[in-house]
Structure 1
Amino acid sequence: MKKSERILIKKSASGNVDAFEELIKDYEKRAYNIAYRLLRNSEDAMDVVQEAFIKIYKSIKEFQFKSSFSTWVYRIVVNASIDFTRSKKAIYSLDENIKSEKGDIKREIADYQNTPEIELERKLTRELVQKSIDKLDDIHRIVIILRDIQGFSYDEISEILGCSLGTVKSRISRGRIALKEIILKEMELEEVNLSQKK
């Protein structure tokens, strides 16, 4: 942890709002990306991040410097997103779909030829992958988003979720297997639909 960050944390803990704003600005974009990937709605993601940052400000005195500040921040964002999803499910029916907005996954395969066909194929692939990720249960969806979309290390995910490294590895492995099965089923369904249209 940088000395300047440590100073800002201590100032924030004593109630300095300006110090907190300076401290948190480096985390805003990634916090939003995590919330958006989990909730699939930009307004909900903004609300959750704002709520998480308020919680961080109120509880920053409790930060013990045992883990990195970033993992502590992202743990609160993930938990706020999970709580939001649960509250939505309580309000609506259990099979209520979270409204999805088209967003691009950061990790894209590099291509050297940007033809309209390739662009369309890539877009359809992204949509298929995101649609399939949305169908994973919460436990596996969260680790897949943190690892494969946001690029966190296994150790960071372990800290963010507050579980052992073995549990993280196991969940990622199972999540990837489940995701592959969902993608294959989705592709089969699309092939059936296309053949019926012919």
Structure 2
Amino acid sequence: MSPEDLPDEELVALCQNGEGRYFEVLVRRYMEKAFRIALDFTHNTEEAKDLSQDAFLRAFSRIKQFDGRSSFYTWFYRLVVNLCLDHTRRKGRVVWERLEREADNPSDSVELADNTSMPDEEAIAGEAKRRADLTLKAMPNKHRTAFLLRNHQGLSISDIAKVMKTTEGTVRVYLHRAVAALRQSLVEFV
């Protein structure tokens, strides 16, 4: 049996017993998913690459602390999300300052052109995307995290609850609030 065919639990056990080369299989298995989560949070390819690499370095250095109470997948996703949240908090001041500037100076914001004969669909789509991005960035981290894990990563509510270390009911509340905030910010585009 090739290492690629081994389940996560066996690969982790081998790594915990000093066989670090098996961690490469876990990296190949989860690199794309880690990158996509980081990209959802950062919207920046380079930052997403850095964060996903940092997540693997942190997972490798902490692999002996993994106790198997959850799956490796859940443990690793939690690590990636925590790194992304920390990164977002560090950059939070910049985001809030930009949001405040846009609120204080609406003329600096992108505005839709007044084209009464035929609306420019690209401009409308661009404005809707910009508004959705701003709404996602402005919502509480827990709401944004649940929304991104569900809608961008396709995780089940049960998996999101494990990653976020909360109940499924709480995840449903976070998702409801995130969707409500997005719906409210995009009401004129529907």
Q: TM-score by structure 1 length?
A: 0.72
- 1:21 and 2:14 correspond: no
CA positional deviation for 1:39: 1.3
Q: Structure 1: where are the runs of 5+ without partners?
A: 98-118, 189-198
CA positional deviation for 1:88: 2.1
Q: Separation in 2 of the partners of 1:5 and 1:161? A: 20
Quote the residue 1:142 is aligned against. 145
- 1:73 and 2:76 correspond: yes
| Deviations, residues 114-166 of structure 1 (Å, cap 9, x unaligned) | xxxxx959964656544543343322111111111211100000011111111
Q: Separation in 2 of the partners of 1:35 and 1:157? A: 16
Q: Structure 2: where are the runs of 5+ without partners?
A: 100-120
More helix per residue? 2
Superposition pairs of residues 1-198 of structure 1, within 5 angstroms: 4-89=7-92, 92=94, 94-96=96-98, 120=122, 124=126, 129-184=132-187, 187=189
Percentage of matched positions with identical amino acids: 29
SS at structure 1 position matched to 2:70: coil
How many residue pairs were aligned?
A: 166
SS at structure 1 position matched to 2:186: helix
For structure 1, which segment, 57-66 or 31-40, has the greater mean C-alpha deviation from structure 2 after superposition? Answer: 57-66
Contact 1:136–1:179 under 8 Å retained in 2: no
Q: Which consecutive segments of 4 or more residues in structure 1 shift more than 3 A?
A: 119-132
For structure 1, which segment, 76-85 or 127-136, has the greater mean C-alpha deviation from structure 2 after superposition? Answer: 127-136
Q: TM-score by structure 2 length?
A: 0.75
Q: Separation in 1 of the partners of 2:37 and 2:165? A: 17
